[in-house]
Amino acid sequence: MKFQSNAKKYLLGVIGGGVMAHAIVGGAAKRGVFAPDEVCICEPDEKKRAALEEEGFRTTTEARPLAENCAYLLFAVKPQVFSAVAEELRGAALPVLISIMAGKTKRAVRTALQAETKIARVMPNLPCCVGEGMAGVDVSELSEEKKPFVLGLFSAVGKAVEVPEELLDAVTGISGSGPAYVYLFLRSLVRAGMEQGLSEEQANALALQTVKGGATYAEQSGKSYDELIAAVSSKGGTTVAALSSFEEDGFQQTISRAVAAAVKRAKELSE
């Protein structure tokens, strides 16, 4: 699908050219969502601007003229920097806004900008850097004509699921913070492997491929998690011994408590 910039100079303006912005626009450009020169990124760091320009993106250091010259504007700055950006943009004629800033509600963004513009709020995650991201996307304020661009942008770097804004804290607790849970599990598995005599390199190779292969098979087989667990378990066998140990130690409760803590923190940080 070819998206129109509707007489604006750029299809997409981006405020902040850091890790997430680069992952998202870089991935979307590679997937043909837009050409790099349809995107202009406002970034104070000269080195980051030079690297983005090398990939064909336009760059600037001035947010306001950019905001007034694009069809969509993505906020990819840290939440604590946003008030300074909002001050610079106050009173500007703003396009459709897309915010990935953790903990910033649409209401807080609107209040800071003092603008009655349409806002999409998105919670992406780090694996979008390798095209395997997962994003919760609230596009409820956008017209049917504008929604596909936002969904297309995040689908280009992984998967995107539409949720109402109230559920974005839950998304944060599962997929936003989730990559860290996976890394924690992997690190624990590697350490356990080393305790059993494997080298770190061996344990890491075994753990990483097991998590990757396990996830791919879960996705492709169409089987439920109970069926998959049963397929690896035989009565009186090794897997059952490990699973019983997990259960005795309250594995499900541990996960539920951790996710609840992340969701609670996301709510506390929301403004």
Ligand X SMILES: NC(=O)c1ccc[n+]([C@@H]2O[C@H](COP(=O)([O-])OP(=O)(O)OC[C@H]3O[C@@H](n4cnc5c(N)ncnc54)[C@H](OP(=O)(O)O)[C@@H]3O)[C@@H](O)[C@H]2O)c1
Given the rule CB under 6 A, which residues bind ligand X?
15-21, 42-45, 48, 63, 76-79, 81, 84-85, 100-102, 123-126, 176
State which residue, 18 or 152, has the beta carbon closest to ligand X: 18
Rg (CA), the chain: 22
Nearer to ligand X, 25 or 203 (CB): 25
Residue nearest to ligand X (CB): 18
CB of 104 to ligand X, least distance (A): 7
In this complex, which beta carbon is closest to ligand X, that of residue 174 or of residue 205?
A: 174
* Least CB distance to ligand X at residue 55 (A): 15
Strands 70-75 and 119-123: unpaired
C-beta closer to ligand X: residue 45 or 55: 45
Smallest distance, Å, CB 212 to ligand X? 20
Residue 148 CB, nearest distance to ligand X (Å)?
Answer: 22
Which of 164, 94, 90, 88 lies closest to 122, judged by CA? 164
DSSP string, 144-179: TTTHHHHHHHHHTTEEEEE--GGGHHHHIIIIISHH
Q: Which is nearer to ligand X, 66 or 203 (CB)?
A: 66
Q: Report how far Cα 16 is from the mean position of its chain's Cα atoms.
A: 15
The amino acid at 51: A
* Residues 6+ positions from 147 with CB-CB distance below 8 Å: 139
Quick one: how far is CA 5 from the chain centroid? Answer: 24
Measured distance CA(92)–CA(208) in Å, rounded: 48
Please identify, using beta-carbon distances, which residue of 76 and 157 lies nearer to ligand X: 76
Alpha carbons 142 and 148: distance in angstroms, whole number: 10
Residue 230 Cβ, how far from ligand X at the closest point, in Å? 34
For ligand X, give the closer residue by CB, 94 or 203.
Answer: 94
**At its nearest, how many Å lie between ligand X and the CB of residue 227?**
32
The per-residue b/e assignment along 72-90, b for 16 or more CB within 10 angstroms, e otherwise, is bbbbbbebeebeebbeebe
* DSSP E strand stretches across the chain: 10-15, 39-42, 58-60, 70-75, 96-99, 119-123, 133-138, 158-162
Q: Is the dihedral of CA 27, 25, 119, 261 positive or negative?
A: positive
For residue 103, the minimal CB distance to ligand X (Å) is 7
